[in-house]
Structure 1
Amino acid sequence: MLKTVFSVCSVLLMSLTACQSQLPSPLQIQAVEAMPPLAAEFETEVLETDTHGDETTRVYRWRFVRHADRVETHNLSDDSGEVWRRLAGGDIAYQKVFHGQRQTIDYQPGDLKALAAVPDWRAVATLLSPAELGGLQADGEESALGRVALRYRSGQGEIEELLWLNREQLPALIRRQERGHLLVTRLAALYPTGQAPWPELRDEDYGHTDYADLGDKEGDPFVKSILPTLKGGHHHEH
């Protein structure tokens, strides 16, 4: 009887090990050219604990739209956004968007280089930086929005848990520690590009200010109000 029990346990253990070995570990990101266009809505919870041990939770809803050479995000909490564009030579241009004022601040590739703010395009397109992937190890599968998601965990680094939609090349959940806070980001909705129930930004509908021209407009009420939110804006020198 004991031999039978041990035999069954051994078979189960071998089966589980085989299932685990079929999962990519660590997580592998596809080439950026192969990432499918899509639109998604996320919810991020920020859990903070004060010096008295009291916890507070802030919740943010935001949108994400990915094309082959363009990524747009929209923070619904403050009606601001960002647009990243990958140009023909591989350089990246950036816009900080203020939807309420229908204005954008436009950064050319040279501006980002001068500010040491050139991003990794793969991180922009997947919401995961290469540095965060090294400590992730496969830990099974789950269902997310009716899709199979690969679960990864990490005992090191900022990310504690990740649910990854391999076909979509997008996280369904990211649980991470950042600056002493716990951030939990969950995928709330996913759409094919062009079928999301919100319009994408159209450049012609917005006024544009070049980052290089901010020094000439620091007396403008709008520019003055948004300078602290800009990359390098509150340290701008003309």
Structure 2
Amino acid sequence: MDSGSKRPAAGVRRVVAGSGLALALAFALAGPAWAGDAATANVTPAAATDEAIAPAVAPDTQALVAHYSVRDARGERSLILVRAADRIEYRQPGEPAELWRQTPDGIARLELFATEKRSIAWAPGDLRTTGRMPQWEQLASPIHPQLREKLQRDGSAKALGLSAERYRGESAEGQPIALQWLAAEGLPAYYRTGLAKPKTGDTGAYELKLVKLERVPAAEAFTATGDYRETDYADLGDMELDPFAAAYLKRNGHAH
């Protein structure tokens, strides 16, 4: 039910979404990347201005914050992944932030709309009923965890001063794939599907590059939701007079 009240960040929930990182758990957070082997990138050395931090394993009080640049047919944009032991958040410009949380009943999701200061909360039961319940391992990285199993190991590399494993292969569509993987962090440093220098209008090209990696106190790393008005997904069908709820249902093609 629409609480209309302010809830702390701990009460959050959510997962990733489709094409080109449209963070809206139609689920395929980094676009083709989430599809498994539809988006990949060749591995290139990080620029001198890129940053990295250690150690690889952070205490529960800290969150790992990975900053990525994404390039595909839609252009270039940023993607931020925030990951702690029991929470994961994805942020990208122009899209609602996606906040996922582990609960005793499964995974919960919270969509955060910064402009409206509204949020939509999906309980684990909502995600299961709509066929949108992800696996925690899928959320932990913008690249599907099974992708590496389909690629060939191709040596080692350095990314942001960290040791990375290099992989190459081909997607189901016959597109070349390149991946640099940070095993200790469980994250891609570089991922590309398609040619290294795609032609204009090449819709199959997708590139994901890690540009900064840091560890931040968990209390500061995630989006603060204290001033958001939270609405349960299950209550949206009874809120046809609420402009925000009506627009959300129309935009996401939901039918209650």
Q: Which moved more, 1:159-168 or 1:208-217?
A: 159-168
Unaligned runs of 5+ in 1: 1-33, 48-56
- In the alignment, the residues of structure 1 paired with residue 157 and residue 83 of structure 2 have an alpha-carbon distance, to the nearest angstrom, of 24
* TM value normalised by structure 1: 0.71
- In the alignment, the residues of structure 2 paired with residue 208 and residue 137 of structure 1 have an alpha-carbon distance, to the nearest angstrom, of 45
Which amino acid is 1:187 matched to?
A: L
Point out the structure with the larger helix share.
Answer: 1
In the TM superposition, what is the alpha-carbon distance from 1:226 to its structure 2 partner?
2.8
Post-superposition CA distance 1:150-192 (Å, at most 9, x none): 1111124477111111121111111136x95311011111111
Give the corresponding residue for 2:125.
110
Unaligned runs of 5+ in 2: 1-55, 195-201
Q: Which moved more, 1:186-195 or 1:94-103?
A: 186-195
- In the alignment, the residues of structure 2 paired with residue 157 and residue 35 of structure 1 have an alpha-carbon distance, to the nearest angstrom, of 34
Q: Is the 8 A contact 1:135 1:157 kept in 2?
A: no
Q: Percent identity?
A: 34
Number of residue pairs aligned between Structure 1 and Structure 2: 188
Kindly report the root-mean-square deviation, in angstroms, between the aligned alpha carbons of the 2 structures: 2.6
Give the corresponding residue for 2:108.
93
* TM value normalised by structure 2: 0.66
Q: Is the 8 A contact 1:120 1:129 kept in 2?
A: no
Q: Find the residue that maps to 2:126 and give its secondary structure.
A: helix
In the TM superposition, what is the alpha-carbon distance from 1:105 to its structure 2 partner?
0.4
Of 204, 209, 215, the residue aligned with 1:192 is 215
Which amino acid is 1:183 matched to?
A: Y
Post-superposition CA distance 1:171-223 (Å, at most 9, x none): 1111136x953110111111113299x75212322110100011111332222
Structure having the higher Rg: 1
Residues 130 and 147 of structure 1, relative CA distance in 2, 3 Å threshold: closer
Q: Find the residue that maps to 1:154 and give its secondary structure.
A: strand
Larger RCO of the pair (alpha carbons < 8 Å, separation 6+): 2
